[in-house]
Homo-oligomer: A and B are copies of this chain.
Amino acid sequence: MTIARRDLILSAAALAIGAGSAAAFGATRPDRKLGYAIVGLGSYGLDVIIPQFANCTHSRLAAVVSGDPVKARRVAAAHGLPASGIYSYETFDSIRDNPDVDIVYVCLPNALHAAYTIRAAKAGKHVLCEKPMAVSVAECEAMIAACKAANRKLMIGYRCHFEAYNLEAMRLARTGAAGKIRYVRSEHGFVQRDPAKWRLKRALSGGGSLMDMGIYSLQAARYMIGEEPIAVTARESTDRRDPRFTEVEDMLDWTLEFPSGAMAGCQSMYSANQNRILLMGDAGRIELEPATRYDGNQMWVGKDGRERAVLPPGGPGKTQFAGQLDHLATCVSSGREPIVSGEEGLRDMRIVEAIYRSAREGRTIRLDGRA
């Protein structure tokens, strides 16, 4: 009586799983791998990013920056770094004298992104900065100006632009696999349980779920539709009596309008688990769920409930993390601009400010300068 909604059909391409996709990023092959300094040895820098250098072709770990000297020495030792590759936040600026470091990757809480990006640029280093780029438009503009003044590259850690399923969904959308895309739905959230987390402290995070998972919802709406939104309308719901949410928002729901008439319905929250992107077209749909996880993402393409599981050509390929690390390395080597530059982070931050303003003022905020 009940039929599994989604047939699992593995394409022939699935046989190619594991094939590297570095070529997709137009990599040049420099004589040496570029050296990264990881700023911030929290769980993301330490557990997610640093292990990924093993999957990189053009990048290697060259230094660590931490407020915890014991942890810094332990990580350095584990990865064969010399003592000259260990920095504290106090000694960070002396990284200018370390020729082994080409790129500084800022993995700090949001409110510290601007300061460390600017210090890195002033130290003559290229910068990869985690998303959200910063906590205000003004900070983003200062970061772009600092990198420009130092003639250094600035890239934002929008890893989904290097994630095989998201790339394939973008390609399918552009080539009309679902017809004309009319609506994109993007939902990201998780149950944030620990009231002590820095992400719940406004001084460090700059905001709640929007500044965390919400950035994925916003980014996905933009890269899936492939246009810039012209208006945003947002609503917030937060239980301020909940000890987790005394400083930042729990839940935001927002609509983006695009020049073609397409709309996006986005959502972020800290009180339920959700990770999904859906593209609705007039001839079918493309669905990713989970959509933007570190791994294990899945995609379905089809129409009217008869959707096929689809694997990207070549399979999941190189990890998204190694992809972004190597992308900036090859951009530095070749002089090209990163596909997710500081300007891209600034675009999101302008919309983030408009989302908060719309929710606060209870009205639609235009993004195209019209009244």
Contact = CB atoms under 8 A, between A and B. Distances in A.
Interface of A: 1-6, 8, 10, 14, 17, 180, 182-183, 185, 187, 189, 191, 231, 233, 235, 237-239, 250-251, 253, 255, 257, 261-263, 265, 267, 269, 271-274, 280-282, 284-285, 289-290, 298, 303-305, 309, 311, 315-316, 362-364
Given A4-B4, A267-B265, A298-B5, A185 B187 contact: yes
Copies in the complex: 2
B364 A267 contact: no
Nearest to A264: B253
A363 B1 CA distance: 45
Contacts of A185: 185, 187, 267
23 contacts: A2-B8, A2-B309, A2-B311, A4-B8, A5-B298, A6-B6, A180-B271, A182-B250, A183-B267, A233-B362, A237-B261, A251-B263, A253-B263, A255-B255, A265-B267, A269-B280, A272-B282, A273-B284, A273-B285, A273-B303, A274-B285, A290-B305, A362-B363
A362 B274 CA distance: 28
Nearest to A7: B4
B263 A311 contact: no
A78 B330 CA distance: 76
A96 to B, nearest CB: 44
B304 A273 contact: yes
A6 to B, nearest CB: 7
Given A185-B187, A233-B362, A235-B255, 4 more contacts: A182-B251, A233-B235, A272-B281, A274-B285
A263 B235 contact: yes
Given A4-B4, A233-B233, A289-B305, A189 B265 contact: no
